[in-house]
Amino acid sequence: MIMRMHHFLKPFTLCLLMCSLFLFPVTAKAADSEISISANVTETITYEDTITQYDGWTIIFKNTTSGNVKISDLSITDSTKLDSSSIGRLKLQSYTTDGRIQDYYTGYSAIIAPGETCKFLVTATAKSFTNVKLQYTATVYKTYNISNDENKPIPIVFDQEITGPVYQQGYYNQYYSLTLTEASTVTINLTGECSYYLRNSIGEYLGRASNRLNTSGTETFKLAAGTYDMKLIGGGESDIGKEYTLKVSAVPYDFGTVNVDWNIQGLVGACNVPFTVTLTGSPETYVYSAGSELRSYGDRTSTGWSGVLNNSSAGYHTLRVVLYADGYGFKEYTYEYHSIPETPILLEYSFNVGTTKMNLKGLGRIQMKDGNKWVDVKNVKPVNVEERVVSGLKPDTRYTFRLISCIEEEGKEPLYSAPSKQISIITGSKKKPAVKSIKAYGYKTKYIPREYNSGYYDTLGIWHRGYYTGGYYTTSYKLKIVLKKKAPGLKTKYLSVNGTICKLKGKTCTYSDYYRGKRKRKKLKVKIATAKSNKFRGTGAAVTKKITLR
């Protein structure tokens, strides 16, 4: 079936088609020309396709170098006009960074950062053009070791000249840092159309001007040890290609000479140490503080400081001398000294009855002589702060003990006191004494009169009632103990009778005691052991006998 258009519709349809061509033109996008810039170049390129009002030529320049690139001196010419009956011309436009299009003018130069691009557009105002030529000049600028990141500044090497660009495409500031290991006089020499801020670690800006902005030239700063940030402020596009030079030098500041006059020889225990600090050689320096603690107030003197170090205990101590100079900050000297512990006192020592465990009273380490050496005793069990028990001793053996105090601090030599007196003891024997006879004699009965002790108030105001004493009889007696043979053990000179030490005369020992009352036929247990001393006992194994008193 063939469809036919009504004859009234033919003129109307043709009109719509013609209007649509003017109201909604159809354009074909021409292929872009991408030009990679890797070196300085001046050249002319030709676009052979047709350029019309609706179909232009897009040129993209890409910077493949590590430095800035300037695109300048652009010009266009046409060799062929396809429609000579129309009036028209070629138009060169540039794209801005935000995507807008503006007409190109001769004084404009595009600056391309490393890895970035810039774009131009050639169109026709009327007519159609082909074989259009574009001439341009690309200039590659020097690469610099700079940082535009405030958090990644370039460390400055002293006395080494740094070169950088006054203008950096896309960035206004450049960042450096300088680190001083000691207070120094720092000279910053900057040439070029730049300025800078210098800031310390707590954010304070340094400089002579009221706004602390330092211009190019030579500036000198008094700086304490630490790290400082430098923000260098460059110029505008008109400064492209211009360089600045930066050189920083530092001379350590001489705080002067400190002399300490004191006597720290032979210090023992808690002690007071008078001292005098003298400062010479630098009129700008003050002694800010001297002593064991840094003072929080601002006392200072330009000549010296005197005082006393109060040490409440033995050990390692430090004298701190803090100097201060305006701008250069603080410098601290530390002088270490020590006092050894006091000589420990061996208060008491004894053996438990029938054992080889020694009770010893006194502070400090317990040492035992082993040949020509002194060694720390390991088998020690504390009873209280002062008293300890030494176990693991052999019977019938001579031991020599002493006490010594020691202060230990990590990373330092131990501090030892002078040793206490030595004691030599012989431990008790494992053998029981052989008893031949025990005889009681010399009985005496005595009446203890009854007496009243008056009440009283103590120092706290508390009343204590009176009380009576006496009013009873006591019976005293003596025991004569005879051994069958010589007492066993090494150098046994004593017997322990019911815990009382009595001296042996040959094989005989006399023991005195009493009981309360005056009754007769009293049964008595007598516990007898050998002993090595009337002081520390050194008792051995015991034998028990039963007797009847009169």
Among 460, 462, 489, residue whose Cα is nearest residue 397: 489
Q: Domain check: are 540 and 447 in the same one? A: yes
**Is the pLDDT assigned to residue 11 strictly greater than 60?**
no
Q: Domain check: are 262 and 323 in the same one? A: yes
Confidence of residue 22 (pLDDT cuts 50, 70, 90): very low
Residue 44 domain-assigned (yes or no): yes
| Average of per-residue pLDDT across 513-536 | 89
Residues with Cβ within 8 Å of 181's Cβ and at least 6 positions away in sequence, in order, are: 225
What pLDDT is recorded for position 336? 95
| Average of per-residue pLDDT across 167-195 | 91
Residue 10 domain-assigned (yes or no): no
What pLDDT is recorded for position 21? 38
What pLDDT is recorded for position 424? 87
Q: Give the span between the Cα atoms of 403 and 366, in whole angstroms.
A: 5
Q: How many CB atoms lie within 10 A of CB 355?
A: 16
CB 125 within 8 A of CB 92: no
**Is the pLDDT assigned to residue 18 strictly greater than 80?**
no
Q: Which amino acid is at 509?
A: C
What pLDDT is recorded for position 251? 97
Strand partners, 231: 175, 197
Give per-residue pLDDT as tens, 446-472: 999 999 999 999 999 999 999 999 999
> Mean pLDDT of all residues in the chain?
86
Residues with Cβ within 8 Å of 531's Cβ and at least 6 positions away in sequence, in order, are: 428, 492, 494, 495, 496, 501, 537, 538, 539, 540
| Average of per-residue pLDDT across 500-515 | 93
Residues with Cβ within 8 Å of 519's Cβ and at least 6 positions away in sequence, in order, are: 475
What pLDDT is recorded for position 338? 96
CB 431 within 8 A of CB 529: no
Residue 11 domain-assigned (yes or no): no
Q: Domain check: are 365 and 408 in the same one? A: yes
Give per-residue pLDDT as tens, 205-241: 988 776 788 988 999 999 999 999 999 998 887 888 8
**Is the pLDDT assigned to residue 439 strictly greater than 90?**
yes
Q: How many CB atoms lie within 10 A of CB 124?
A: 25
Answer with the residue of higher pLDDT: 385 or 25.
385
Among 209, 231, 252, where does a domain finish? 252
**Is the pLDDT assigned to residue 435 strictly greater than 90?**
yes
**Is the pLDDT assigned to residue 479 strictly greater than 90?**
yes
> Tell me, what CATH number does 319's domain have?
2.20.130
Answer with the residue of higher pLDDT: 10 or 487.
487
Among 114, 140, 166, where does a domain finish? 140
What pLDDT is recorded for position 101? 87
Phi then psi dihedrals of residue 10, to 5 deg: -60, -50
CB 279 within 8 A of CB 285: yes
Phi then psi dihedrals of residue 361, to 5 deg: -115, 130
Q: Domain check: are 412 and 506 in the same one? A: no
Token look-up 């029981």 returns: 432
Q: Which domain holds residue 533?
A: 435-549
Confidence of residue 473 (pLDDT cuts 50, 70, 90): very high
> Tell me, what CATH number does 182's domain have?
2.60.120.380
DSSP 268: B
Give per-residue pLDDT as tens, 394-410: 888 889 999 999 999 99
Q: Give the span between the Cα atoms of 153 and 198, in whole angstroms.
A: 13
Residue 8 domain-assigned (yes or no): no
Among 362, 393, 426, where does a domain finish? 426
Count of domains forming the chain:
5
Weakest-pLDDT range from 79-83, 239-243, 315-319, 320-324: 79-83
Weakest-pLDDT range from 34-43, 215-224, 357-366: 357-366
**Is the pLDDT assigned to residue 108 strictly greater than 90?**
no
Residue 146 domain-assigned (yes or no): no
What pLDDT is recorded for position 265? 94
Q: Domain check: are 37 and 130 in the same one? A: yes
What pLDDT is recorded for position 360? 82
Q: Domain check: are 282 and 372 in the same one? A: no
Residues with Cβ within 8 Å of 514's Cβ and at least 6 positions away in sequence, in order, are: 474, 475, 476, 477
DSSP 182: S
Q: Environment class of residue 219 by beta-carbon count within 10 Å: exposed (0-12), middle (13-18) or buried (19+)? A: middle
What pLDDT is recorded for position 7? 47
Q: Give the span between the Cα atoms of 172 and 148, in whole angstroms.
A: 8
| Average of per-residue pLDDT across 74-102 | 77
Q: Environment class of residue 509 by beta-carbon count within 10 Å: exposed (0-12), middle (13-18) or buried (19+)? A: buried
CB 494 within 8 A of CB 504: yes
What pLDDT is recorded for position 10? 47
Token look-up 């676009």 returns: 47
Q: Domain check: are 512 and 465 in the same one? A: yes
Q: Domain check: are 453 and 489 in the same one? A: yes
**Is the pLDDT assigned to residue 548 strictly greater than 60?**
yes
CB 129 within 8 A of CB 50: yes
What pLDDT is recorded for position 256? 94
Structure tokens, 477:
């007696």
CA distances to 91, 95, 129 from 75, in Å: 10, 16, 15
CB 527 within 8 A of CB 340: no
Give per-residue pLDDT as tens, 140-158: 988 888 898 999 999 999 9
CA angle 24, 27, 31 (to 5 degrees): 165
Tell me, yes or no, if the pTM score tops 0.75.
no
CA angle 245, 247, 248 (to 5 degrees): 150
Residue 224 domain-assigned (yes or no): yes
Structure tokens, 128:
């159609």
CB 520 within 8 A of CB 513: no
Residue 74 domain-assigned (yes or no): yes
Residue 18 three-state SS: helix
% of the chain surpassing 90 pLDDT:
54
What pLDDT is recorded for position 36? 93
